[in-house]
Structure 1
Amino acid sequence: MAGRGVLPSVGRTGSCYNNAAAESFNAILKKELVNRKVYSTRNHAIRDVTARIESRYNHKRLHSAIDHRTPNQADTGWRQQHKAAA
């Protein structure tokens, strides 16, 4: 994982806070999109979820966990901050 720039989880087994952001994201995605449709194929579902994340979630939806910014804004800010530090 480290070779690809992925950091392992820092939480402990059984911690209710370990995956809170991921669980919240999954719950909202399922409620707003997946549970409202019947997909004919797995690939159709994957394309639909991917399109939703890329078109709406990452660009428009504000998140309280990242100072009411979009994920793209938070990522851009993080990259700029780390580029300046290098």
Structure 2
Amino acid sequence: MIHHSDAGAQYTTFRLAEHLDAAGLVASIGTVGDALDNALMESAMGLYKTELIKPQQPWKMLAQVELATAEWVDWYCHRRLPGEIGNIPPVEYETNYHLKTTKPQITSTI
């Protein structure tokens, strides 16, 4: 398994490298000043903050944030209808993609 990150100071420490190695993970760090490999995550985090975190602050307990986050992720994946993918939920889009690109397995009846 690979842990990919940007080149932020918190991701380039020896302590993190040792922790990843102990967990059997390989570190992968993007090039400095190149946010292209991180664009999708930055976009998702921006939506998360804009749609959930900022409108409901101040949060009083961590448990509230954890529960609200789980509910938001469920909504984002199963009920959100992004126009960029045809106004269907992301989970449905991904399922359709795999159905179209996965070749059926040949089975024997012998």
Under TM normalisation by the shorter chain, which class is it?
0.5 to 0.7
**Structure 2 vs 1, CA of residues 47 and 63 (structure 1 numbering), >3 Å: closer, same or farther?**
farther
Q: 2:81 aligns with which of 51, 61, 67?
A: 61
Gap runs ≥5 in structure 2? 3-25, 106-110
Q: Which amino acid aligns with 2:55?
A: R
Identity of aligned residues (%): 16
TM-score normalized with structure 2 length: 0.54
Equivalents in 2 of 1:17, 1:36: separation in Å?
28
Q: Which has the higher contact order (CA 8 A, sep 6+)?
A: 2
Q: 1:48 aligns with which of 68, 73, 85?
A: 68
**Structure 2 vs 1, CA of residues 23 and 77 (structure 1 numbering), >3 Å: closer, same or farther?**
same
- Which ranges of 4 or more aligned residues in structure 1 deviate by more than 4 Å? none
Q: Is the 8 A contact 1:63 1:71 kept in 2?
A: no
Equivalents in 2 of 1:85, 1:48: separation in Å?
39
The number of aligned residues is 77
- Kindly indicate whether residue 94 of structure 2 is the aligned counterpart of residue 75 of structure 1: yes
Please report the RMSD computed on the Cα atoms of aligned residues, expressed in angstroms: 2.8
| Matched residue, 1:31 | 50
Greater strand content: 2
18-27 or 37-46: bigger deviation? 37-46
Greater helix content: 1
Compare CA radii of gyration and give the structure with the larger one. Answer: 2
**Structure 2 vs 1, CA of residues 63 and 25 (structure 1 numbering), >3 Å: closer, same or farther?**
farther
